[in-house]
Amino acid sequence: MKFEVVIMVEITWLGHACFLITGSKKVLIDPFLSGNPTAARKPEEVEAEFILVTHGHGDHVGDAELIAKRCNAKLICIYELSRYFAKKGVESIGMNIGGTVNFEGVSFTMVPAVHSADVEDGGEIISAGNPVGFVISMDGVKIYHTGDTFVFSDMQLIAKLYKPEVMLLPIGGFYTMGIEEAYRALQLVKPKVAVPMHYNTFPVIQQDPEKFKKLVESKLKVRVAALKPGESLKYP
Ligand code: NI
Ligand code: MN
């Protein structure tokens, strides 16, 4: 007789593009907590084994250096950004788009995003490579964090290759896609559940998640979990 153990993965939105994904490992993405008016936790309250950073902008790098050092976490980002972290004394894994790294059955695949990327280093602006997204595979669940991006047709290819069931995507507009574009992105990827992010942090990205939920759920077989900062979703 075979027993199938169903392990739930818990996805907690900490505000803006920051998520803590907890399963057999603790994975933190884009930890912008200090200086984030909507952050659900302080940087010293977060525990992580892995930290993924999608690009060099301040609202994504955030407290990555601080948390990586305190938790001795593995930081994963694009090669050019890893050189910035190396200067800060954080030994990071500098991979690139299309690559996958695997740690004891948990994998991280770097995928493209349509955005811009540089990083501020002591008042100086330096290049930080390309902006990216990640597909995280943990405990049989695949989660696609798009990073800051516009909708692009290659999302279909990302869907075909990695079959994400949960998609974390921006709806705020101005810096990223807004509601209409995010709806199109879900049409391309067809996940089971979508969690909107990157909105209501600042006045310029004010957005109504209920409007997004209504639009998506009336047209697609995708459930929208419009979390409040600090709230979690369990999957499956
Ligand atoms: Ni950005
Ligand atoms: Mn951003």
pLDDT digits (tens, 9 = 90+) for 45-58: 999 999 999 999 99
Confidence at 22, pLDDT banded by 50, 70, 90:
very high
Fold of domain 9-235: Metallo-beta-lactamase; Chain A (3.60.15)
69 Cα: distance to centroid of ligand 1 (angstroms)? 23
Provide the edge-to-edge strand list for the sheet that holds 232-235: 92-95, 74-78, 50-52, 26-29, 18-22, 9-15, 232-235
Choice between 90 and 5, residue whose per-residue pLDDT is larger: 90
Locate 75 and state its tokens: 């930081």
pLDDT at 1 exceeding the cut of 60: no
Q: Which residues surround ligand 1, an ion (CB under 5 A)?
A: 57, 148
Provide the edge-to-edge strand list for the sheet that holds 100-103: 100-103, 106-112, 132-138, 141-145, 166-170, 193-197, 223-224
120 Cα: distance to centroid of ligand 2 (angstroms)? 14
pTM equals: 0.96
Residue 122: predicted pLDDT: 86
Residue 7: predicted pLDDT: 79
18 Cα: distance to centroid of ligand 1 (angstroms)? 12
Q: Which residues contact 203 (CB under 8 A, 6 or more apart)?
A: none
- At 142, the amino acid letter reads K
72 Cα: distance to centroid of ligand 2 (angstroms)? 25
202 Cα: distance to centroid of ligand 1 (angstroms)? 13
199 Cα: distance to centroid of ligand 2 (angstroms)? 10
191 Cα: distance to centroid of ligand 2 (angstroms)? 22
Confidence at 6, pLDDT banded by 50, 70, 90:
low
Q: In angstroms, rounded to a whole number, what is the distance separating the alpha carbons of residues 21 and 28? A: 6
Asked if residue 134 lies in contact with residue 29, where contact means CB atoms within 8 angstroms, the answer is: yes
* Ligand that lies nearest to the alpha carbon of residue 198, given by its number in the listed order: 2
pLDDT at 203 exceeding the cut of 60: yes
234 Cα: distance to centroid of ligand 1 (angstroms)? 27
Residue 34 has a CB neighbour count (10 Å cut-off) of 12
Choice between 19 and 5, residue whose per-residue pLDDT is larger: 19
40 Cα: distance to centroid of ligand 1 (angstroms)? 20
Asked if residue 166 lies in contact with residue 142, where contact means CB atoms within 8 angstroms, the answer is: yes
6 Cα: distance to centroid of ligand 1 (angstroms)? 35
Asked if residue 189 lies in contact with residue 135, where contact means CB atoms within 8 angstroms, the answer is: no
pLDDT at 192 exceeding the cut of 90: yes
Residue 146: predicted pLDDT: 98
Across the range 11-21, mean pLDDT stands at: 98
DSSP state, 228? P
7 Cα: distance to centroid of ligand 2 (angstroms)? 31
147 Cα: distance to centroid of ligand 2 (angstroms)? 8
Asked if residue 196 lies in contact with residue 15, where contact means CB atoms within 8 angstroms, the answer is: no
* Ligand that lies nearest to the alpha carbon of residue 115, given by its number in the listed order: 1
Locate 85 and state its tokens: 């972290």
pLDDT at 2 exceeding the cut of 80: no
60 Cα: distance to centroid of ligand 2 (angstroms)? 6
Q: In angstroms, rounded to a whole number, what is the distance separating the alpha carbons of residues 108 and 77? A: 10
Residue 113: predicted pLDDT: 98
Confidence at 138, pLDDT banded by 50, 70, 90:
very high
Domain spans, the chain: 9-235
Q: What is the mean pLDDT of the chain?
A: 96
Confidence at 5, pLDDT banded by 50, 70, 90:
low
Across the range 198-219, mean pLDDT stands at: 98
pLDDT at 3 exceeding the cut of 90: no
148 Cα: distance to centroid of ligand 2 (angstroms)? 6
Locate 224 and state its tokens: 């929208």
83-100 pLDDT per residue, tens: 999 999 998 999 999 999
Q: Which residues contact 160 (CB under 8 A, 6 or more apart)?
A: none
Q: In angstroms, rounded to a whole number, what is the distance separating the alpha carbons of residues 211 and 35? A: 27
Across the range 30-42, mean pLDDT stands at: 97
